[in-house]
Structure 1
Amino acid sequence: MINFFELDKKENKNYVKLIQIVSKLSRLYSGSSSPYIYYRAMENLFCFCFNAKNLSRSDTAFDAKIDNIGIGLKTFLGENKNYSFEKIAEFNKNSSMIREKTDDKDLTEFLANLRNERIKLAKDIYGISRAQYHIIVRRKNLLLFFETDYDEIDISNLRIEKEKGCKSEKSLDFTDGNHLYKFNFSKSTLFRKFDIPKNCNTAEAVIFENPAKLLLSIDEIGYDKISIEEEQKLEYVILPLYTVKNNIKIVQERSALNQWNASGRKRDPNEVYIAIPSLVRKHFPNFFPERDTPFILKTPLGEILNAKVSQDNNKALMTNPNKALSSWLLRDVLKLKEFELASIDKMEFLGIDSVIVTKEKEDEYSIDIQSWGSYEKFAEKLNADEI
């Protein structure tokens, strides 16, 4: 397991120093005597300092990746206890499935499977074989850094600990012999108990009472006196893996992901395409090359697919051979066998329902999965921009 505090110290990566600087700005957000670190700031600084791939945008089980190691990043307050229950998964989109479980034992196993399948999915998509958490605990004048395991839940050893509260607010506590978990019904959220070791690496946390002066001093430095590397803002679109019929998400049985099941001629089990909705085509008319013009499409593991847009009005994203897209999307992501229909239930269980396509440069794109509801949020923003 990598100790990132010691790695930072050994290789002068400035990670701890940058976290301390962020802590100095705590008064911008909080009046607490404990430092405030926005979790996105921690993610971005971690990835910047350790040259990690930032996975937070895809909203999968891991926040970052270094080589074949998946990293979960967490920061939380820990003033008076040597442990904290922290959120590790949200199952809002699975709430209907959860409500169907009337037996607590069945529910516990279902929750464990949901959690484990999402970990396995992220491992498969990003080529991760090992995993760990990196955690910063915030206390008055102090930052604690430590690592702990990122294990799947041991389903063979599940035991219910206790159940309390009324039906609308109750929580279910269970253990797998390694960790204690708490599921909150009202928020459909799974928590894990994180024990804070006594031998943590520590760093001083100083909070500026007037951080505005520090911000003004940054402006007074002048851009001509510091080197600023502007990060290129990459254009992207989010494409749904479903359609909507009577206000219900469905996966068409004879087109798109199930194009291989279309009637007529004999079909190959790997025939598939991703639909490009009219809303996306309207707002991003020049995002993709012209119809049937080949371009590179890279998967999260760096596999190179030869892609193109096709069909009338450029409404389909395909690869050549078609098997390349089905191999990644149907086999690796959705874990479907040949001639097995893709379904909305399967995607709901995995917590995904769309993909993001990013334009890295001319004629070169990347593709990744997106969490359930991502296209809806994307479409809402596009529609709002028209108002």
Structure 2
Amino acid sequence: MKSFAEIDIEKNGNYLKLLSAVSKLSGLFSESAIPFINYRVAENIFCRSFDAGNLSRSDTAFDANYNSIGVGLKTFVCSGNSSTEKIAEFNSLSRTLKDFKGKELALKLGEFRNDRINLANRVYDIENSLYHIVARKEKELLLYETDYNIIDVANIHSVKDNKASLQFEDGNNLYTFNYSKSTLFRKFIIPQNAFRLPIEIIEDPYSLLLELFEENKDLKSATDKLVKGENYVILPLYGIQKKEKFIFERSGLNQWNANGRKRNFGEIYIPIPSELHKKYPTFFPKRDEDFNLQIPTGEIFSAKVCQENSKALMTNPNKALSDWLLRKVLQLKEGELATIEKLDKLGFDSVIITKSDNQNFKIDIMKTNTYNEFNQDEE
């Protein structure tokens, strides 16, 4: 495919214009001649300009979904022709990884990294993938695309180990794993034919802002921001016992395994903590009232809050939720228990529910410990 710079130029779009405009305001944050662009700003500009789905909130392997192409967006300062950048964190797996060394560790990192890429492919129906890079140098931006390959585990070689890190290659890229941060890095090479966007940083951006808001007093305020308990909540896929996470063996994601009557393998629900109902009693519709629940691929399920104390989020048919969450996302076979170890390996343990109105909701996966952070903010 054509580069995103070429696509933007051909359609006379706003991508390069917005990157340039934000870069010109670098004086707000730095005195350097190197343009400053916050990575979240770069992601939002890309998604707005190319009408791409913004995946950054779920912290999945990709930052954007452009026509079923998973896009990893990177912006970094580069003084030479390469830069080593973070591509994945494995904090939730640090206890597992500490048992491996050398090539065995490289193989395990490749396995975990590939699992998370494949998870994102399944959740968002990704068919191909690439990295879009915005490299920042003095008075210019260099834009280019490069591969977003899974790690070729069978071809891992040139493994070098020291106290601080592990380095290895797979025939395509050079990777470095930082022990203390449980973080995987990759070396990105800037090609000679990268698109160059000249940047002149404004000397006094503050005066420009004052003029802008003085002349445009009627600028609209944002109305679609996420407000906790008002248009979004986080639900954990686990419970806590003796300060340890676990997935209920006979309820929740494993409701199909409950004692008593014979149950269908598709019988599951997402637990809704009682404290969430107490804090946000009007977020969900009343018990047993149907509403629409859209999954990341755009498919819409009929859902409802049910069971005693409205403790369960279920779909009708219930198999729709299990087919998506257990079979497609977690890739569990019928009769295979969901476990916290499985979630940790994939890097998520909760879901976000966003609300448009009382009849329309969306669901997406969220990275490990998101519910804990959501809950702590309230304390």
Give the letter for the 1:151 counterpart.
Answer: N
Q: 1:340 to 1:303 in 2, by over 3 A?
A: same
Structure 2 distance, partners of 1:110, 1:282, is 42
Q: Which residue of 2 aligns with 1:353?
A: 349
Q: Does 1:314 align with 2:310?
A: yes
Structure 2 distance, partners of 1:130, 1:53, is 15
Residue 31 of structure 1: how far off its partner (Å) = 2.3
Deviations 1:133-157 (A, max 9, x none): 1111111111111011111011110
Given candidates 262, 265, 281, the residue that maps to 2:261 is 265
Q: Which residue of 1 aligns with 2:225?
A: 233
Matches within 5 A, 1:9-20: 9-20=9-20
Q: Does 1:374 align with 2:370?
A: yes
Residue 162 of structure 1: how far off its partner (Å) = 1.8
Given candidates 180, 184, 188, the residue that maps to 1:190 is 184
Q: Which residue of 1 aligns with 2:115?
A: 117
Given candidates 333, 342, 345, the residue that maps to 2:338 is 342
Residue 160 of structure 1: how far off its partner (Å) = 3.2
Residue 161 of structure 1: how far off its partner (Å) = 3.4
For 1:317, what is the secondary structure of its paired residue? strand
Residue 230 of structure 1: how far off its partner (Å) = 4.2
Structure 2 distance, partners of 1:28, 1:353, is 38
Q: Does 1:21 align with 2:13?
A: no
Structure 2 distance, partners of 1:22, 1:176, is 37
CA contact (8 A) 2:102 2:161 kept: no
Structure 1 distance, partners of 2:238, 2:195, is 47
Structure 2 spans left out of the alignment, 5+ residues: none
Residue 42 of structure 1: how far off its partner (Å) = 0.3
Structure 1 distance, partners of 2:375, 2:336, is 29
For 2:76, what is the secondary structure of its paired residue? strand
Deviations 1:281-332 (A, max 9, x none): 1121111110000111111011111100011221110111110111111111
Structure 2 distance, partners of 1:218, 1:7, is 30
Structure 1 distance, partners of 2:306, 2:2, is 46
Deviations 1:170-205 (A, max 9, x none): 111100001000111011110011000111111111
RMSD across aligned C-alpha pairs, in angstroms?
A: 1.2
Runs of 4+ in 1 over 2 A off after TM superposition: 228-234
Residue 92 of structure 1: how far off its partner (Å) = 0.9
Given candidates 182, 193, 204, the residue that maps to 2:198 is 204
Given candidates 145, 160, 163, the residue that maps to 1:162 is 160
CA contact (8 A) 1:2 1:147 kept: no
CA contact (8 A) 1:279 1:379 kept: no
Deviations 1:329-377 (A, max 9, x none): 1111111000100000000100110001111223111111000010001
Q: Which residue of 2 aligns with 1:277?
A: 273
Deviations 1:192-244 (A, max 9, x none): 110001111111111123211111111122234x6x48442350110000000
CA contact (8 A) 1:119 1:152 kept: yes
For 2:168, what is the secondary structure of its paired residue? strand
Structure 1 distance, partners of 2:225, 2:250, is 37
Q: Which residue of 1 aligns with 2:94?
A: 95
Structure 1 spans left out of the alignment, 5+ residues: none
Q: Which residue of 2 aligns with 1:58?
A: 58
CA contact (8 A) 2:97 2:105 kept: yes
For 1:378, what is the secondary structure of its paired residue? helix
Residue 28 of structure 1: how far off its partner (Å) = 1.6
For 2:378, what is the secondary structure of its paired residue? helix
CA contact (8 A) 2:5 2:16 kept: yes
